[in-house]
Amino acid sequence: MASLAIDSIGTTTDRNWGVAERVPETGMALEPVVFLPGLLCDQALWRRQIHALADVAAPMVADLTLDDTIAAMAERTLAAAPRRFSLAGLSMGGYVALEIMRRAPERVSRLALINSSARSDTPERTLQRKIGIESLRRGKFVGITHKLLGQLVHADHTEGFVADEMRGMASRVGGDAFIRQQQAIMTRPDSLDGLQAIRVPTMVVVGDGDRITPPDHAHEIHERIAGSSYHEIGSCGHMAALEHPEQVNFLLRNWLQRG
Residue 9 near residue 32 (C-beta atoms within 8 A): yes
Helix (H) or strand (E) holding 241: helix 240-243
- For the chain, list the domains and their CATH numbers: 6-122+181-257 (3.40.50.1820)
pLDDT tops 90 at residue 9:
no
Higher pLDDT, 125 or 210: 210
Task: Provide, rounded to the nearest whole percent, the portion of the chain with pLDDT above 90.
Answer: 81
pLDDT at 6 over 80: no
The pLDDT score that the predictor gives to residue 35 is 98
Q: Are 43 and 4 in contact (CB under 8 A)?
A: yes
pLDDT one-digit tens code per residue, 48-105? 999 999 999 999 999 999 999 999 999 999 999 999 999 999 999 999 999 999 999 9
- Answer yes or no: pTM beyond 0.85: yes
Whole-angstrom Cα distance, residue 21 to residue 30?
Answer: 8
pLDDT at 135: 82
- pLDDT(19) > 70: no
pLDDT score of 28: 67
DSSP line for 204-238: EEEETT-SSS-HHHHHHHHHHSTT-EEEEETT--S
Query: Average pLDDT of 252-259?
Result: 90
Which of 98, 134, 100, 39 has its CA nearest to residue 217?
98
CA atoms in the 13 A half-sphere facing the CB of 19: 29
For residue 74, the 8-state DSSP code is H
Burial tier of 148 (Cβ tally within 10 Å: 0-12, 13-18, 19+): middle
Measured from the Cβ of residue 30, the count of other Cβ atoms closer than 10 Å reads 22
CA dist 15 and 8 (Å) reads 14
